[in-house]
């Protein structure tokens, strides 16, 4: 087991009432974490680590979540705000489709697409984003959907909750890490 906790905790600045945010990426073979602190109205990354998981812990997502939750508690001498976590790409599905430019609110279109693709919207954790068509020389915007089965998601949330951590959003997205990094570091 890696013992990175002491190094990270020692190097983390102590800014009084600074709020720590975490972005977590549960990969197939390693976990990646970015910790950020709010300072002067902006976020600053104070620690980042890639944690390879031992071979016996690579098989189960819940086991990986438990190991990571334990490390997060060690790395953060103070409590962590509810964080964002992304799932391994092997557990997520992706679909994209053109969306007319006159559709201003993509969420209903995304929910309808998830319903058509999966049937039961409540049985999956999903996310979406929209890219303008002019970025890629198209007349239409693109709607991107990612989702994962709640059978995969549930055990992850349970492990984080058992460790006393709160997951604000479990994203079935390529990575939650950029959501925590400051704008100028994205």
Query: Per-residue pLDDT tens for 35-81?
Result: 776 666 666 666 677 877 766 655 677 887 888 787 777 766 555 56
Q: Is the same domain home to 94 and 35?
A: no
- pLDDT of the residue at 15: 41
Provide the domain count of the chain. Answer: 2
Q: Is the same domain home to 171 and 145?
A: no
Q: Is the same domain home to 10 and 74?
A: yes
- pLDDT of the residue at 66: 82
Closest CA to 53 of 37, 65, 41, 36: 65
Please check whether residue 113 is in contact with residue 130, taking contact to mean a CB–CB distance below 8 angstroms: no
Q: What is the pLDDT of residues 171-183, one digit of tens each?
A: 555 555 555 544 4
Domain that holds residue 144: 90-149
- pLDDT of the residue at 5: 34
């Amino acid at each position: 087991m890696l013992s990175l906790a002491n190094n990270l905790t020692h190097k983390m600045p102590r800014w009084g009432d600074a709020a720590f945010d975490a972005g977590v990426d549960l990969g197939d073979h390693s976990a990646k974490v970015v910790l950020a602190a709010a300072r002067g109205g902006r976020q600053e990354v104070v620690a980042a680590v890639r944690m390879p998981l031992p071979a016996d812990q690579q098989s189960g997502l819940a086991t990986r979540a438990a190991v990571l939750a334990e490390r997060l508690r060690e790395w953060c001498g103070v409590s962590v705000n509810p964080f964002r976590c992304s799932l391994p790409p092997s557990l997520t599905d992706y679909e994209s489709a053109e969306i007319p430019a006159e559709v201003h609110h993509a969420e209903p279109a995304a929910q309808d697409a998830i319903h058509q693709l999966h049937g039961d919207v409540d049985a999956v954790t999903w996310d979406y984003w929209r890219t303008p068509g002019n970025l890629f020389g198209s007349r239409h915007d693109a709607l991107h959907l990612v989702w994962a089965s709640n059978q995969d998601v549930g055990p992850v949330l349970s492990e984080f909750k058992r460790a006393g951590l709160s997951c604000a959003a479990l994203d079935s997205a390529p990575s939650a890490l950029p959501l925590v990094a400051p704008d100028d570091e994205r």
